[in-house]
Amino acid sequence: MAILQSTMDKISSKKLTTLIILFFIAFPLALTANLMFRTSTFALFELFSQNKVAMKNASLPTSTNDPTSSSIRDKKTKPIGGLLASGFDESSCISRLQSHLYRKPSPHKPSPYLIYKLRNYEELHTRCGPNTRDYRRSMIKIVNSENNGNAAMCKYLVCVPVNGLGNQMISIAATFLYAVLTDRVLLVRFGEDKYRLFCEPFLNSTWILPKSFPFWNYKLVETYESMLKKEKGKNSKEDLPSTLFLNLQHTKNEPDKFFHCDHSQDLLRNVPLLILKSDQYFVPSLFMNPSFNSEITKMFLERDTVFYHLGGYLFQPSNEAWGLISKFYQEHLSKADERIGLQIRVFAPDSTPQQAVMDLVLRCTIKNKLLPELDTQNSMPYRMKNKSIKVVLVTSLKAEYGENLRNMYENKATVTGEVIRVYQASHEEHQKHHDKMHNMKAWMEMYLLSLCDVLVTTSVSTFGYVAQSLGGLRPWLLYKLTNNDTHFPACERDFSLEPCYHIPPNHYCNGNLIKDFVSTFLYLRGCKDFSNGVKLVNDTTTILDHGP
């Protein structure tokens, strides 16, 4: 302290003034330079974080029981082509580091623009997410303001996902894209039964809507429909509420919401807190909006990889889920030469005979050479040596489908000489609600399906959509059985990786009926499995089979 005192005494007051002036000139200059560097050189930033992840990968455990252990050391690359941010605590989310080792190298790379948008979004989330000063300030403004809520510092998009887990995941992904496109912070109103399924996607923050959120009971919030009515009465933008509830859930015979239109988006833009309830993958309706369309087009150079990238980014299995997934994979799937995922979802079990479903599955898989016929001429049990092994992963609420297929192939010769092994991870009998372990099993099975080489899924099932899109696969879509009709192909190959949007808008923004999506929206096609639905397609030469 004495030395410090004597040094201070030596500095004359003139020198001090010069130092202070210098500091005030140099500091803003340094700050501006730093900001310019950060916004204009995301490629460099990416390279830097790539190195960091490579260093982290080097410290991964390499157990000899782990089928991926030898490849871990060889693949010290950044997981998912730089899609995921670096800086996370490794042990908090093991799948973030390991999951790409369970997949073949991806032909679908994220665009630099998508990575840039995600890094920007992460900054916004860190600044405005729960437990931050800006969150508290913004919420106070939103709660207190009737008309001038749009002056709040941060804007929010609260996602209320409903229905089964597949429905919820596709609607969360669509809502996240909407948040990125509109510079809003995404918060998900997860039920407690969903808390432990996924890792936190955003560094040093959470995407879980806090229980203290002032509009947890969103049923009291003004609706989008009533706002549109007011707007028809030519109310000014100042009359807009600070919070609005927008219902994009699947409902029959509802009038069009014109959500895809500029006039709706212009109004919504001025509402700081949007609460969006959905069970749908409404990405195609964002694509139908001209300004969103140009952004989406830059973000996703391959149009049908929206869920593939955003789902891969958002839905990393939690450590608990990853433990189940990796254990099942290593025990049953890792040693196969080929993995066939077979998702059997029976929507009306009481009126759909099991045998009819089984016949459909066999007609599809055998006709398309996904599974071999039995060799009835040769009753000799196959010899294991040098035979190629196909593993079928059956997912279904019923045990019988897996059992039937297993009994059919067990110890039997096949015409191709292949050995067929059949596994089913669970049979929950029926869909359960608010059940943590039930959801965990559903998530584990969707993820395992996505790790397969070939996928057979059930038409219209969002459970299958998640598996398909996460895995970057074009599945064989099993025909949806409705009666005893047999004049249909048992399954058809999908033309896109994307989930189907089941309830696209019926009208153009001028009120005219949309008769043909393709002529206006080059990258939209009618879904193969649901005639009213549309989905994004990468190849514009894809023929429109069905569709509105």
Using the rule CB under 6 A, is 330 a contact of ligand GDP?
no
Rounded to whole angstroms, how far apart are CA atoms 14 and 65?
71
Instruction: By CB under 6 A, name the one of 164, 272, 311, 475 that touches ligand GDP.
Output: 164
Alpha helices in 289-432 (DSSP H): 290-299, 306-314, 319-328, 354-367, 399-409
Name residues whose C-beta falls within 8 Å of residue 451's C-beta, 6 or more positions apart in sequence. Answer: 102, 103, 329, 333, 339, 341, 471
Using the rule CB under 6 A, is 163 a contact of ligand GDP?
yes
Closest CB to ligand GDP among 154 and 534? Answer: 534
Residue 120: both structure tokens together: 């920007």
Residue 193's alpha-carbon distances to 15, 114, 157, 433, in angstroms, are 64, 31, 21, 9
Using the rule CB under 6 A, is 397 a contact of ligand GDP?
yes
Instruction: By CB under 6 A, name the one of 365, 396, 457, 469 that touches ligand GDP.
Output: 396
Using the rule CB under 6 A, is 184 a contact of ligand GDP?
no
Across the beta sheet with 273-278, what order do the strands follow?
185-188, 156-161, 273-278, 243-247
What is the total residue count of the chain?
A: 548
Using the rule CB under 6 A, is 424 a contact of ligand GDP?
no
Closest CB to ligand GDP among 201 and 341? Answer: 341
Q: How far is the CB of 344 from ligand GDP (least distance, A)?
A: 7
Instruction: By CB under 6 A, name the one of 50, 352, 416, 431 that touches ligand GDP.
Output: 431
Q: How far is the CB of 93 from ligand GDP (least distance, A)?
A: 22
Stretch that binds ligand GDP, among 263-271, 353-361, 434-442, 522-530 (CB under 6 A): 434-442
Cross-strand pairs, 513: 507
Q: How far is the CB of 461 from ligand GDP (least distance, A)?
A: 3
Instruction: By CB under 6 A, name the one of 175, 205, 461, 496 that touches ligand GDP.
Output: 461
Helix H or strand E segment including 285: helix 283-287
Give the three-state DSSP class for 405. Answer: helix
Instruction: By CB under 6 A, name the one of 462, 468, 469, 496 that touches ligand GDP.
Output: 462
Footprint of ligand GDP on 339-358 (CB under 6 A): 345
Stretch that binds ligand GDP, among 21-29, 51-59, 62-70, 457-465 (CB under 6 A): 457-465
Residue 23's alpha-carbon distances to 19, 35, 37, 283, 511, in angstroms, are 6, 18, 21, 50, 61
Q: Are 440 and 410 in contact (CB under 8 A)?
A: no
Closest CB to ligand GDP among 99 and 458? Answer: 458
Q: How far is the CB of 478 from ligand GDP (least distance, A)?
A: 12
Name residues whose C-beta falls within 8 Å of residue 201's C-beta, 6 or more positions apart in sequence. Answer: 207, 313, 314, 316
Residue nearest to ligand GDP (CB): 164
Footprint of ligand GDP on 293-322 (CB under 6 A): none
Instruction: By CB under 6 A, name the one of 302, 304, 445, 494 that touches ligand GDP.
Output: 445
Across the beta sheet with 476-478, what order do the strands follow?
419-424, 389-396, 338-344, 454-458, 476-478, 491-493
Instruction: By CB under 6 A, name the one of 180, 188, 286, 442 that touches ligand GDP.
Output: 442
Q: How far is the CB of 424 from ligand GDP (least distance, A)?
A: 9
Using the rule CB under 6 A, is 441 a contact of ligand GDP?
yes
Sign for the pseudo-dihedral over CA of 342, 346, 352, 354: positive
Residues that bind ligand GDP (CB under 6 A): 163-167, 345, 395-397, 426, 428, 431, 438, 441-442, 445, 461-463
